[in-house]
Structure 1
Amino acid sequence: MSEDRMSHDSLRDRSLHDLFRMEAEAQRQVLTEGLLALERNPTAAATLEECMRAAHSLKGAARIVGLGAAVAVAHSMEDCLVEAQHDRLHLHRAIIDVLLRGVDLLGRIADTPAEAAATWANEEIEPVLTFRAALDAALAAPAPAADALEPAGDAAPAEAGEETEERVLRIAARNLHRMLGLASEALVESRWLDPYIRSLARVKELQRRSALALDQLAERNAGLAADAPSAELLARAQADLAEGQRLLGERVAALDAFDRRLAGVAHGLYDEALASHMRPFADGTRGFKRMVRDLARELGKEARLEIVGNRTPVDRDVLSRLEAPLGHLLRNAVDHGIEAPAQRLARGKPAEGEIRLEARHVSGRLEIRIGDDGQGIDAERIRRAVIARGLADADTAARFDHDELLEFLFLPGFTLRETVTDISGRGVGLDAVQNMAKQLHGNVRVFSQPDQGTRFQLQLPLTTSVLRALSVDIGGEAYAFPLARIVATALVSREQVRSLEGRQYFELGGREIGLVAAQQVLEGGDAAAAGAQLPVVVIGGAHGEHLYGLAVDRFGSVIELIVQPLDPRLGKVKDIAAGAILDDGTPVLIVDIDDLLRSIERLVAAGHLAQVRHQDSAGAAERKRVLVVDDSLTVRELQRKLIEAGGYAVEVAVDGMDGWNALRLGRFDLVVTDIDMPRMDGIELVELIKKDPRLRELPVMIVSYKDREEDRRRGLDAGADFYLSKAGFDEDALMQAVVDLVGGPLE
């Protein structure tokens, strides 16, 4: 059993009554779980000892605070448990009932405000006398011949096979959010050294080349009658350069090792901060076993709750929203699902019904199942209720299959009860469960078999603080689409796009998907012209309805983002849910899928949805596309401007890896690449292109400072179609090579 451990300063500022209330909260949980276990196995020694200690502790704490009523109740409970420990008392159900009422009375006393606590100073107050009388009556009554429940061994309240829960520290949620945000920033900052180290490595390479040049110069001078001072200067330069290389090499190696350690620490901090934002599933299910037991008794039924996955980590924010929906589903299981004992026995079932609540991680999601072994849901009753409420006519309702009928249970106000009770009949519970799932970008489904039971399955995100998303570029800005809400991604050719009554469509998986320009929806401007291949993100409602394909500029990668709420002073930002920071420090906006769908529907309804324009849609021939790959900003921009001025469309990439990603997602007629680049050099890029069946016919030009014959041969052997030296760079030579390789810009 976990207990809160507060810092000394925090405890010092609390009153004795506050401290008693905190202790009573923890000890009441021990008593509740222990008494429920003793109801099934009254002789479990470990559980008896734990309950007795809890009652004893509460008695001592209440005496210090001066709550005589609590002292009397705890003392009576302790005496009862001690008698059971010495085998002088059998804890049958009637006694357990009264002891649980005692736990409730202790909670009532503890939760009384400090200024009104004096009312509980008297041990002979009426609620205490009532409790004692009930306990005496239960103790005096003869024990039943045999409890309906068989002993289950010396069971502990904890889940079987799980270790005792660790102590936990109470901390404000806002502090956890702040810590997680700082950990995310630390992860971003830890990557700052990487480009600096690459720059130093480049300097080291330049030094190596300089040393090689000096060596060649020394060899040439060796055969000449050079004067002694010149030879001495050359030798000194060689020695200084060698020493500089050595020192730089040592510093680069040390800095690289520091960078790796810093990245490891940052990742560790991030992982621990994320873990601290999670709580065990058991923290959100504390009162459920008692609730199921009491409700079943009230309805004249027998039911027990089994909880599986108590230690499954769940985000604190998700867990706080689960209590009410899970409570409703459990009450439904007892009220609607579990039959009366006589009915169960007649059907060959045990008199006691079983309800199972299970939490686990499945494919990066939190899956919660609530199932019972009761009578199941009568689909024909749903069909009759649908017709009676005018939700469908008889002919239509007759065509609904079993699963479609079960979906009606989630409609607001829909119920199979003819009368309203304190427990059910208002038709608001399942609707609230579904709304909670939608708010968390999850879903809920129901499965039922006649006479075998019903199971509800919720799939929710593991955390609301960390989001798995697909990054995309739209209008030159970074956006993130939550992965859980993406139906599909596709590269759609212009031949696949069709128009009908002014709206564009394409086919995907046998379905017609409306095509929308993401830039128009998000920025409110005209849709940008698109290339031959449209990167499209397909989104839809929570159940796959209202599908639209958003044409974006470029796909990024699948990433994990620390969700950063927007400043509340901004209010609700249209189509945006929150913000985040990418690994390289770039801010990114997280798209609100539901809001975005509403914006699209408004544009469609108003007839303002613009078509995605292709570059040749106005009658102009499509320009040939050239990809320029160079890590030098100056060289990259110079080549881009020159080639664009020649009438070609140009995209740029900052290194070989960036260039390879661009080639996989887009279509190009020519690649112009440097050789010396970080992450992936030009030779590796050329080799990848020529090995790819889709790209092997793509012309590649190398433009490099390396002008030796062996460098030229190495590039051509890798598969390059042309090799141009930057040392003798000429604008006309570059453009002539482009024309020779791919023809004129509009041919």
Structure 2
Amino acid sequence: MTDDPRRPSLIDLFREEARTQARVLNDGLLALDRAPRDAAALEACMRAAHSLKGAARIVGVQVGVELAHEMEECFVAAQEGRVLLDAGWIDALLRGVDIVARIGNDDDESAREAVGACVASLQALMAGRVPHGAATRRDVTPPAGAALTANTHSAAVEPPASASAGADASADADAEFNLLAAALRAEAAPAIAATATTTADVTSRTIAPAATPATVPASTTSGNTSGAATEPGRMLRVRADNLDRLLSLSGESLVESRWLKPFAQSMLRVKRVQRDSARALDKLHETLADLKLDPRAQTALEEVRRLTAESQHLLAERLADLESFDRRSTHLSQQLYDAALQCRMRPFGDSAGGLARMVRDVARSLGKKVRWQLVGESTQVDRDILDLLEAPLGHMLRNALDHGIETPAVRLARGKPEEGTLTLDARHTAGALLITVSDDGAGIDLDALRASIIRKNLASEETAARLSEAELLEFLLLPGFSLRDQVTDVSGRGVGLDAVHDVVKRVRGTVRITHEPGLGTRVQLQLPLTLSVIRSLLIEVAGEPYAVPLAHVNRTLHVSRAEIELLEGHQHIALAGRRVGVVTAHQILDTAPPADEGDTVSVIVIGDGPQTYGVVVDRFLGERMLVVQPLDPRLGKIRNITAGALMENGDPVLIADVDDWLRSVERLVAGGNLQHTQHGVAHAAQRTTRRVLVVDDSLTVRELERKLLATRGYDVTIAVDGMDGWNAVRGERFDLVITDIDMPRMDGIELVTLIKRDPQLQWLPVMIVSYKDREEDRRAGLDAGADYYLAKGSFHDEALLDAVRDLIGEAHGQTHG
């Protein structure tokens, strides 16, 4: 079987099936732990075990067959009332679920041993629970030749009469699994036929009748497309980068669709011009009516009038069609974008599936009784946020179980029910995702917390005594802080809430802890609904727009230059009773300072605590909802920039990395390089700007290089390919040409060769920036006459700027003569 190239894909599908059924079993067993006689949960578990057994038989994973069969026997016995699934049973079956989730290879010796131990445990429980004389196992593991027929409920398996209801219900599970089996039979036949030479004939005979169309529902015989149409809620796995690309393209489609409206408006102007020309022609006709014109001139004039009227009529019709198309196109593009964005959203329950099991296991290990509640399971959450939340939610729940909820004896002594309640709630509110973990435990001992703060030398005794409740609770979020003096399997290392705070801060969210002594604790996370779309403040710096995520903007204001005070060489403004340092965005982004300086400046306030700064920008451009488009990873980390986006008119805009901005400010402060906002450009008129031509057929690379150079003060012109670049250098004067190699019409090597052969241009420096970073590519570029060769694989903003400065100097040079 290992030589069959089809076998790995079949095993992969089985592993996926095993993980799916393991989730069903896990949820069902947790429900049975609360209500052992829950018929719906028993039915779901029996179906899952039966389907898993059939899947294991198809791919020949015998240990999976044995384990699933034994688990199925337990569930059937519970359905028939022969056993009661108490905590001991649930523990043993959950161990079986853990093994199911990682089964995938019949030859895996560790899996075989784990299955053997689990099966023996379940059989021992069955032997101890089944009354004397009662029916025991319905069947035994069939020979390999009967593997597939057993999965389709052939006559080889005869359940007792009392189990007929369960058997009928399990037929639905078989039908569901047969959807997978029918699609795989063509692939599975050679794989299963190769399992053993002694059973090859029997196996092939069992596959043949099973492959007939009669056993396959109509939705599968017509292909995946029709099948998907008849299966509401059907799930598919899609690569994350494909989904991101779909969202990016749908955003671009939405932007492009909005170009039709200004085009239609321009066509209306054409219509008005044509109407005016028709009126002028009518006046001309009236003027000439009294004159005796040559018949041919009269005929020509009438023909012009007729054609003008006809063209006006056609234009009106086409304009109506264009307006209709504009409405439909914009509507469809908006729907496409909304649907693509929705594809990134997943139900909150997808990440909370394993939490119920974790709560049960931790509670049992601590000797506590806990009732688990999940509220808002269907709340839609961005998949990136959902992935980030998995670990923090586990930390929060373990923290609540260990520190919050008391043992049954303590709860009874305090007049509480012995079973505590732990609730995880997810909901949308005020445009944000609100996740709350609450318990009805003892709350937080503020005296113990204050003592721990003093003991860890985080505050003096006098300071700790003055701290408010909210300030005390903030210490719980510090790295390494714990109220436990000893490290246990559950807590004591102080990484729980610290890890939660770290993740929440990364996605621009907030954490809030509240409690009521003796009644419980609540930890609330407020997070953005999605990381794909951000609400941003658009600003202008050095003539270029930038987007600053509003979640990072504390405040915007206009400040008179007279209000900016100079203290110990640093500029400050008074804000909310304290002094806030001021720095210009031009220094952060290393751009040319503005030529005009008015009496007031526009300031955005970023940061928190002592790291709060006011950043002076040229002007505010308003707020926008932007679709985040990640930069090409080959470009590396661009300092002070986190991503890009397209505005409604199609113009690109870079999204600021505010954390980088704060680090840049701190470096400027530490280095004593802060300039005053009054620091002008007195000599700007005496300086000339260096001109750079960027030649690249990639819009992303072209625009990034343009922005990097333009924000440093260079005058940048772009060309879309080598031919366009060649025409540009012959028509205008440039100080530097930056070109790619692979381009349509004329590649970069040919462009460099033409420039260096031209007597008027051979002095012009040329830099090649290309993804081709092999030595022979570099040699070809330099041999053609390039002055510098930079590989995009190692490209980052400083490398490009350093190379430009090496070749032509700073953006502004002194004028001559």
Place the TM-score, normalised by the shorter chain, in its bin: 0.7 to 0.9
**Deviation, structure 1 residue 77:** 2.2
Counterpart position of 1:183: 250
Counterpart position of 1:401: 468
**Deviation, structure 1 residue 510:** 4.5
Counterpart position of 2:644: 579
Tell me, yes or no, if the aligned pair for 1:67 and 1:118 is still in contact at 8 Å.
no
1:83 aligns with 2:72: no
**Deviation, structure 1 residue 83:** 2.5
Partners in 1 of 2:563 and 2:653 — Cα distance?
31
**1:473-488 aligned within 5 A:** 473-488=540-555
Counterpart position of 2:436: 369
Q: Secondary structure at the match of 1:557?
A: strand
Tell me, yes or no, if the aligned pair for 2:440 and 2:519 is still in contact at 8 Å.
yes
Q: Secondary structure at the match of 1:506?
A: strand
Counterpart position of 1:699: none
Find the partner of 1:214 among 265, 273, 281: 281
Partners in 2 of 1:465 and 1:123 — Cα distance?
43
Change (3 A) 1:124 1:362: closer
Partners in 1 of 2:486 and 2:110 — Cα distance?
41
What does the per-residue CA deviation read over 1:191-228, in whole Å, with 9 as the maximum and x for residues that have no partner? 33333322211111111222233334444555677776
Tell me, yes or no, if the aligned pair for 1:67 and 1:117 is still in contact at 8 Å.
no
Tell me, yes or no, if the aligned pair for 1:98 and 1:138 is still in contact at 8 Å.
no
Give the aligned residue type for 2:361.
D
Q: Secondary structure at the match of 1:125?
A: helix
**1:400-419 aligned within 5 A:** 400-419=467-486
Partners in 2 of 1:36 and 1:140 — Cα distance?
26
1:604 aligns with 2:669: yes
Partners in 2 of 1:293 and 1:578 — Cα distance?
42
Partners in 1 of 2:257 and 2:274 — Cα distance?
28
Q: CA RMSD in A?
A: 2.8
Tell me, yes or no, if the aligned pair for 1:289 and 1:304 is still in contact at 8 Å.
no
Q: Secondary structure at the match of 1:456?
A: strand
Partners in 1 of 2:441 and 2:333 — Cα distance?
51
Counterpart position of 2:454: 387
Find the partner of 2:35 among 31, 36, 41: 41
Change (3 A) 1:450 1:266: same
Partners in 2 of 1:441 and 1:384 — Cα distance?
31
**1:137-152 aligned within 5 A:** 137=128
What does the per-residue CA deviation read over 1:24-69, in whole Å, with 9 as the maximum and x for residues that have no partner? 1111111111111122222322222111111111222233444444
Tell me, yes or no, if the aligned pair for 1:527 and 1:612 is still in contact at 8 Å.
no
**Deviation, structure 1 residue 259:** 2.0
Q: Secondary structure at the match of 2:108?
A: helix
What does the per-residue CA deviation read over 1:371-401, in whole Å, with 9 as the maximum and x for residues that have no partner? 1111111111111111111111111111111
Counterpart position of 2:406: 339
Tell me, yes or no, if the aligned pair for 1:62 and 1:68 is still in contact at 8 Å.
yes
Find the partner of 2:512 among 436, 445, 451: 445
Partners in 2 of 1:391 and 1:217 — Cα distance?
94
Partners in 2 of 1:502 and 1:586 — Cα distance?
39
Find the partner of 2:92 among 95, 98, 104: 98
Q: Secondary structure at the match of 2:650?
A: coil
Give the aligned residue type for 1:560.
M
Counterpart position of 2:492: 425
Counterpart position of 2:802: none
Give the aligned residue type for 1:298.
S
1:116 aligns with 2:107: yes
**1:330-729 aligned within 5 A:** 330-526=397-593, 529-541=596-608, 546-613=611-678
Give the aligned residue type for 2:47.
R
Change (3 A) 1:28 1:207: same
Partners in 2 of 1:120 and 1:414 — Cα distance?
40
Give the aligned residue type for 1:351.
E
Tell me, yes or no, if the aligned pair for 2:96 and 2:118 is still in contact at 8 Å.
no
Q: Secondary structure at the match of 1:601?
A: helix
**Deviation, structure 1 residue 166:** 2.0
Please, which moves more after superposition, 77-86 or 399-408? 77-86
Change (3 A) 1:140 1:492: farther
Partners in 2 of 1:347 and 1:378 — Cα distance?
16
Counterpart position of 2:49: 55
Give the aligned residue type for 2:399.
N
1:18 aligns with 2:12: yes
Tell me, yes or no, if the aligned pair for 2:67 and 2:115 is still in contact at 8 Å.
no
What does the per-residue CA deviation read over 1:459-486, in whole Å, with 9 as the maximum and x for residues that have no partner? 2222222222122211011110001111
Change (3 A) 1:389 1:121: closer
**Deviation, structure 1 residue 327:** 0.5
Q: Secondary structure at the match of 1:377?
A: coil
**Normalised by the size of structure 1, how large is the TM-score?**
0.73
1:28 aligns with 2:28: no
Partners in 2 of 1:529 and 1:604 — Cα distance?
25
Give the aligned residue type for 1:361.
H
What does the per-residue CA deviation read over 1:407-454, in whole Å, with 9 as the maximum and x for residues that have no partner? 111111111111111111011121111111122122222112211111
Partners in 1 of 2:115 and 2:406 — Cα distance?
42
What does the per-residue CA deviation read over 1:306-326, in whole Å, with 9 as the maximum and x for residues that have no partner? 111111111111111111111
Q: Gaps (5+ residues) in structure 2?
A: 133-230, 684-817
Change (3 A) 1:340 1:247: same
Q: Secondary structure at the match of 2:598?
A: coil
Partners in 2 of 1:124 and 1:605 — Cα distance?
62
**Deviation, structure 1 residue 569:** 3.4
Aligned residues: 581
Q: Secondary structure at the match of 1:376?
A: coil
Please, which moves more after superposition, 253-262 or 187-196? 187-196
Find the partner of 2:345 among 278, 285, 290: 278
**Deviation, structure 1 residue 600:** 1.2
Q: Secondary structure at the match of 1:549?
A: strand
Partners in 2 of 1:12 and 1:510 — Cα distance?
72
Tell me, yes or no, if the aligned pair for 2:67 and 2:118 is still in contact at 8 Å.
no
What does the per-residue CA deviation read over 1:288-318, in whole Å, with 9 as the maximum and x for residues that have no partner? 1111011111111001221111111111111
**Deviation, structure 1 residue 525:** 4.4
**Deviation, structure 1 residue 567:** 2.8
Tell me, yes or no, if the aligned pair for 2:95 and 2:118 is still in contact at 8 Å.
no
Partners in 1 of 2:242 and 2:592 — Cα distance?
40
Give the aligned residue type for 1:573.
I
Q: Secondary structure at the match of 2:65?
A: helix
Tell me, yes or no, if the aligned pair for 2:99 and 2:114 is still in contact at 8 Å.
no
Q: Secondary structure at the match of 1:177?
A: helix
Partners in 2 of 1:551 and 1:241 — Cα distance?
57
**Deviation, structure 1 residue 167:** 2.2
Partners in 2 of 1:125 and 1:36 — Cα distance?
23
Tell me, yes or no, if the aligned pair for 1:66 and 1:121 is still in contact at 8 Å.
no
1:133 aligns with 2:145: no
Counterpart position of 2:708: none
What does the per-residue CA deviation read over 1:517-573, in whole Å, with 9 as the maximum and x for residues that have no partner? 2122112544654323423222123xx653222222222232222222223333322
Partners in 2 of 1:26 and 1:228 — Cα distance?
89
Tell me, yes or no, if the aligned pair for 1:83 and 1:89 is still in contact at 8 Å.
yes
What does the per-residue CA deviation read over 1:226-279, in whole Å, with 9 as the maximum and x for residues that have no partner? 776666554443332222211111112212221222222221111111111111
